[in-house]
Amino acid sequence: MNTDIKQKFCDLLGEERVLFQEPMNRHTTFRIGGPAEVFLVPESVEQICGALKLCREEQLPYFILGNGSNLLVSDSGYRGVIIQMDRNMGKIELEGTEIRACAGALLSSIAAAARKASLTGFEFAGGIPGTLGGAVVMNAGAYGGEMKDVLKEVTVMTAEGDIRTLPAQQLELGYRTSIIRKAGYLVLEAVIALEEGDPQVIQAKMKELADKRTEKQPLEYPSAGSTFKRPEGHFAGKLIMDSGLRGYRVGGAQVSEKHCGFVINTGGATAKDVRELIDHVVRTVEEKFGVTLEPEVKFLGEF
């Protein structure tokens, strides 16, 4: 990428919001990843629009990053532009029994805001390690709750740069999918509709779910959360365990002994380690049970 283009990003966002050769292990929950050629931290929708417009005009590859909770970045990094939508785009507002939040708001922060306002319905999302934008795209869920249960509307940007507000009924929310993902829209903000509740009951429910996560998930290690989608009629973790892969390692990457559905970074794991381990798990489970596991983790860069 030439110096003129880099300067255009600096002029657009301000030099303090443009980083070059930024290590991506600082921005993923796996704590893995080589450098991003250009890393942008916009603070407004206008800056996001401008950055995307520049990427299209200059034909630059780009990737929208939340808090990096479902992502494996190549050891060689990413040759292109990373546009972060995390705490820099994390505004949360209460509107009666509804919460309006920007795409970069953490689900845990939204759940905390709901709890403080004595609003119930979002307890399930309090421990999901991700941002609202990614959760909407993938219809994230846990412990019997899903985003489709609480979403009222979502404001998106189309590939052409148009901004639209879509009611939840038009989002085609299914298991780990939505019209947003299929159409390549960018989530800007969403409205979550909740109900008034008893603050003590809400707090107790959130604690119960947090305790379950701590008991069953390897939260003490860096990971990307649940590594595989749930195959129809099966549980990925059980298939992996029954394949004899509990604790299986490649370099610093390991199938968690605590929950076989998680691949963890035990320390110093490379993206190559993780990818080889995931591929080995997929092959082994298919050979033993005839079930093809599909990774939930996105792979960014060259593998």
pLDDT in tens, 58-86: 999 999 999 999 999 999 999 999 999 98
CA 109 to chain centre: 15
Count of alpha carbons within 13 angstroms of residue 303, beta-carbon side? 17
Residue 160's pLDDT band (cuts 50, 70, 90)? confident
Catalytic residues: 176, 226, 296
Q: Which pLDDT score, from 0 to 100, does residue 238 have?
A: 97
Least trusted range by pLDDT, from 81-90, 173-182, 293-302: 173-182
User: What proportion of the chain, given as a percentage, has pLDDT over 70?
Assistant: 100
H/E stretch holding 152: strand 151-157
Sign of CA dihedral 278, 281, 286, 287: positive
**Is the predicted pLDDT of residue 286 greater than 90, yes or no?**
yes
Helices (H), the chain: 3-13, 45-57, 107-116, 132-138, 179-183, 199-216, 236-242, 271-289
Residue 133: is its pLDDT beyond 90? yes
Burial 2-23 (b: 16+ CB within 10 A, else e): eeeeeebbeebbeeebbbeebe
Q: What percent of the chain has pLDDT over 90?
A: 88
Q: Quote the pLDDT of residue 86.
A: 86
pLDDT band at 88 (very low <50, low <70, confident <90, very high): confident
* Confidence (pLDDT) at 285: 98
Report the predicted TM-score, pTM, of the whole model to 2 decimal places. 0.90
Q: What is the distance between the alpha carbons of residues 273 and 265, in angstroms, rounded to a whole number?
A: 9
- Residue 13's pLDDT band (cuts 50, 70, 90): very high
Confidence at residue 143, expressed as pLDDT on a 0 to 100 scale: 87
Domain annotation for the chain: domains and CATH numbers: 3-87 (3.30.43.10), 90-216 (3.30.465.10), 236-300 (3.90.78.10)
Sorting pLDDT into bands at 50, 70 and 90, what band is 116?
very high
Query: What is the rounded (10 degree) CA torsion for 122, 124, 126, 127?
Result: -170
> Tell me, what's the pLDDT at 1?
84
Say if residue 175's pLDDT is above 90. no
For residue 161, pLDDT over 90 is answered with: no
Mean pLDDT, rounded, of the chain = 95
Question: Is the CB of residue 126 less than 8 Å from the CB of residue 213?
Answer: no
User: What is the pLDDT confidence band of residue 129, given thresholds at 50, 70 and 90?
Assistant: confident
What's the confidence (pLDDT) of residue 159?
83
Q: What are the tens digits of pLDDT across the range 226-278?
A: 999 999 999 999 999 999 999 999 999 999 999 999 999 999 999 999 999 99
pLDDT at 176 over 90: no
